[in-house]
């Protein structure tokens, strides 16, 4: 008898990784990865749906939530992720905290969907108008399983005015977080976003660091040393959306944010065809070369 979870993982890999996107320059392969709860009961995946508006074809993302025990299912639309192309790329991660009543969508190094052109230039200079630009929106969104939004954070809800100096962009990639050094030594993670956060084993606590990323380092050399050395750790409860004290001692090992994957580091450009698992903290992904002929 076939394992239904394995079937679901295979279907997810098929819809999330079409071969039509480009791989060049700064842009890594696009993706929006699904997740399962720590006990394996609840699963959430995302499906790209093509829409044609006039002569332009865009992608909207639909989530599929499932209770593998009762077979209850829900589907609905996600806010924020873009397409699967070089200039319209998405790097997205879905998280399923315990209980399955909510799930979270985390966007790392890509723009948010919007109907207006992204900001010009290559580095942010803070202004209220810039911070409200929709391309900087929808960084972290927490949904009920039925699709209602519990909490949504744009970048302006997370970044302080002095932290916008670290925001920079190249083509479809928009950087605003520091890389964790331990996942950048000797290679890079197969998923672009894995360099920018930690997640707890139960997928309930997200951690990231605001400060100069590798691209920003070169653009702030003329800034005072305290700007160049700036670091601020942020932790968020992915069930309620509440900000947590990043210095507080956590006694439950399943709620301590750790490296978000078990896979080996790779050389830049070698992520083509990579399929993440639904539980990347315990199960490694795999490469599906057949889909990228």
At 202-213, the pLDDT tens digits run: 999 999 999 999
Which ranges of the chain does DSSP label H, i.e. alpha helix? Answer: 4-16, 128-131, 155-158, 214-219, 225-228
Tokens 């905290």 — which residue? 97
Compute the distance between CA of residue 1 and CA of residue 134 in angstroms, rounded to an integer. Answer: 47
Q: Measuring CA to CA, which residue among 216, 222, 136 is closest to residue 178?
A: 216
**Cross-strand bridge partners of residue 44:** 35, 65
Least confident of 15-19, 90-94, 207-211, 288-292: 15-19
205-210 sheet: strands from edge to edge: 198-199, 205-210, 232-237, 243-244
- Contact call for residues 196 and 177 (beta carbons, < 8 A): yes
Residue 148, C-beta contacts closer than 8 angstroms, at least 6 positions apart: none
CB 41 within 8 A of CB 65: no
Mean pLDDT taken over the chain: 90
* pLDDT for residue 33 is more than 70: yes
C-alpha distances in Å from residue 148, one per residue of 34, 143, 181: 18, 6, 36
CA 160/CA 147 separation, integer angstroms: 29
154-188 pLDDT, tens digit per residue, is 999 999 999 999 999 998 899 999 999 999 999 99
Task: Report the half-sphere exposure of 128 (CA within 13 A, side-chain side).
Answer: 0
Q: Band of the pLDDT at 291, cuts 50, 70, 90?
A: low
pLDDT at 58: 87
Cα-only R_g, the chain: 18
Report strand pairing: 91-95 vs 73-77: unpaired
pLDDT at residue 247, rounded to an integer: 97
Q: How far apart are the C-alpha atoms of 170 and 110, rounded to whole Å?
A: 10
pLDDT on residue 53: 74
């Amino acid at each position: 008898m076939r394992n239904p979870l394995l079937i679901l993982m295979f279907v997810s890999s098929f819809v999330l990784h079409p071969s039509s996107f480009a791989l060049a320059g700064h842009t890594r392969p696009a993706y929006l990865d699904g997740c399962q709860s720590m006990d394996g009961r609840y699963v959430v995946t995302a499906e790209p749906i093509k829409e044609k508006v006039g002569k332009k074809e865009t992608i909207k993302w639909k989530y599929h939530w499932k209770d593998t025990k009762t077979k209850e299912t829900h589907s609905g639309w996600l806010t924020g992720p873009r397409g699967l192309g070089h200039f319209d790329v998405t790097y997205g991660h879905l998280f399923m905290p315990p209980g399955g009543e909510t799930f979270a969508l985390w966007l790392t190094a890509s723009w948010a969907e919007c109907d207006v052109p992204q900001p010009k230039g290559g580095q942010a200079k803070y202004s209220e108008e810039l911070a409200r630009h929709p391309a900087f929106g929808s960084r972290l969104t927490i949904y009920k399983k039925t699709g209602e939004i519990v909490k949504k954070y744009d970048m302006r809800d997370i970044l302080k005015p002095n932290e916008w100096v670290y925001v920079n962009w190249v083509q479809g990639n928009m950087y605003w977080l520091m890389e964790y050094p331990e996942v950048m030594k000797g290679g890079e993670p197969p998923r672009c976003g894995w360099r920018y956060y930690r997640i707890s084993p139960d997928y309930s606590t997200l951690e990231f660091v605001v400060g100069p990323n590798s691209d920003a380092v070169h653009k702030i050399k003329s800034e005072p040393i305290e700007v160049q050395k700036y670091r601020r750790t942020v932790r968020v409860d992915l069930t309620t959306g509440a900000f947590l004290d990043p210095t507080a001692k956590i006694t439950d090992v399943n709620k301590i944010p750790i490296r978000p994957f078990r896979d080996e580091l790779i050389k830049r450009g070698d992520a083509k065809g990579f399929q993440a698992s639904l539980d990347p903290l315990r199960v490694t992904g795999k490469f599906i070369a057949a889909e990228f002929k």
